[in-house]
Structure 1
Amino acid sequence: MATRILLVTSSILGEHGQSNALASHLRERVAGRDGLAVTHRDLAAESLPHLGLEELSSWQVDPEARSAEQQVLAQRSDSLIEELNAHDVLVLAVPMYNFGIPSQLKAWFDRVMRAGTTFRYTEQGPEGLVKGKRAVILAARGGQYAGTELDSQTPHLKAMLGMIGIVDVSVIYAEGLAMGDSLREAALKEARQAIDGLVADL
């Protein structure tokens, strides 16, 4: 059976986005390889609305009792969770916007982090219900932030993934992309090599 990769991109810059370039490199390396299959979800091209009370409330209603509107609203979350559960590896290609993640990606997390479905609260604390998966973050940044206080993005992503049960998380950084041509090219080359190694290990 093929290893199924869910690739989620969220850059608003389209073909000019460096995180999208890293995602494209991954897809090129996977293409034609036996035993690997990729599903690409572009959250910028097919954006989700911000989560609102009516949609949140629809999750609390028994599926058989939902109104037609509630069924449509709940289906957004249901389908994204089904897609996540159907894959073995989650790859998030993430640009850094104002020290955080794109709002498009946050809207995705708001729907896959669902109490009672992808995690639950117990007397010992929260328990993730999405088991046996790994995640890889392709992090593209204009500056150099990894390992510093300004990198609030990495711990945020790891915390959200861990909440739903994905604790095997690795990060491939491409940093300093706005700090001159030589630094940019060196960072992208290193990131592409790391992606090559990732694909070889899958």
Structure 2
Amino acid sequence: MSNLLVINSSLRSQGANSTALTENFLQQWRLQHPRDQIVQRDMATDPIPHLDEAMVGAFFTPADQRTDAQQALVKRSDDLVRELQEADVLVLGVPMYNFGIPSTLKAWIDHVARAGLTFTYTEQGPKGLLEGKTAYILAARGGRYQGTPMDTQSAYLRDVLGFIGITDVHFVYAEGLNMGEESFSEGVSGADSQINALLA
């Protein structure tokens, strides 16, 4: 039995293509792994706050010296880190906003990429501490960007996940979703085929 952590990062609480992609993935996953535990986070209904000076200051203050206010700030990040540490599989539903990831997903990354918890510094450079996990990136795009220089999402997510030790990363792309009905249908069916092939 595995633990799945699912992050839907769309800003839309209803009708998001990336969320529909995630739901389809989970439907297929449950058919094969009915006993797995699934934890879901929705950035539209429960957004992660962006880092600010107070949060960063709390992170770098020794735990036994933090004020109550700093403890409260760090607790949210600690809880997010714990969720990720306990997960065997990470699933990210990712729309493309202005050629990048949603800022709330970046905020989540900033909360979980923490020295001493998810990575550490060594004489050879940084080393990820979350080895042995698998990640699935479910990317929904209005245009077609896969394999082009305009797809900054894929390289960034692969790099940042590798930085914290998650190197088994798989991508599913639903593209051309805003380019007419036929393109939408092709994008969705293509993503379905990719999911089926990954989970076969």
Whether TM exceeds 0.5 here: the answer is yes
Matched, 1:175 2:153: no
Q: Does 1:164 align with 2:164?
A: yes
Contact 1:58–1:73 under 8 Å retained in 2: yes
The answer (yes or no) to whether the contact 2:4–2:87 under 8 Å persists in 1 is: yes
Give, in angstroms, the shift of residue 104 of structure 1.
Answer: 0.7
1:7 counterpart residue number: 6
Q: Deviations over 1:111-157 (max 9, x none)?
A: 00112221122221111111110111000001100110101111011
Residue equivalent to 2:83? 83
Alpha-carbon distance in 2 for matches of 1:163, 1:142: 28
Matching residue of 2:50: 50
Say whether the 8 Å CA contact 2:143–2:177 is kept in structure 1: yes
Corresponding letter in the other structure for 1:136: Y
- Structure-2 separation of matches of 1:196 and 1:57: 45
Match of 2:101 in 1: 101
Matched residues, percent identical? 45
Aligned match of 1:142: 142
Q: Secondary structure at the match of 1:170?
A: strand
For the residues of structure 2 that align with 1:186 and 1:95, how far apart are their CA atoms? 17
SS state at 2:55 partner: helix
- Scaled by the length of structure 2, the TM-score of the pair is 0.94
- Using the TM superposition, give the Cα deviation of residue 28 of structure 1 relative to its aligned residue in structure 2, in angstroms: 2.5
Write the deviation string for residues 20-72 of structure 1: whole angstroms up to 9, x where unpaired. 10111123334464332211111121012210111112122232322110110
Query: 1:25 is matched with which residue?
Result: 24
The alignment partner of 2:109 has SS state of: helix
Tell me how far apart the structure 1 counterparts of residues 167 and 21 of structure 2 sit (CA, whole Å): 22
Name the counterpart of 2:190.
Answer: 190
TM-score where L is the length of structure 1: 0.93
Amino acid at match of 1:165: G
Change (3 A) 1:197 1:15: farther
Q: Which amino acid aligns with 2:120?
A: R
Aligned equivalents of 2:105, 2:116: Cα separation in 1: 21
My pick for the range that moved more, 48-57 or 170-179, is 48-57
Structure 2 counterpart of 1:24, one-letter code: E
Mean CA deviation greater in 89-98 or 17-26: 17-26
* Mapped partners of 1:27, 1:144: distance in 2: 24
Q: Aligned residue pairs: how many?
A: 199
* Matched position secondary structure for 2:6: strand
Unpaired runs of 5+ in structure 1? none
Q: 1:97 is paired with a residue of what secondary structure?
A: coil
- The whole-number CA distance in structure 1 between the counterparts of 2:124 and 2:92 is 29
Q: CA deviation at 1:199?
A: 4.0
Q: Which moved more, 1:188-197 or 1:65-74?
A: 188-197
Within 1, Cα distance between the matches of 2:34 and 2:8?
23
> Which whole-Å CA distance do the structure 1 matches of 2:143 and 2:174 have between them?
9
User: Does the CA contact (< 8 Å) of 1:15 and 1:21 recur in 2?
Assistant: no
Could you tell me which amino acid in structure 2 is paired with residue 170 of structure 1?
H
The RMSD of aligned alpha carbons is 1.4
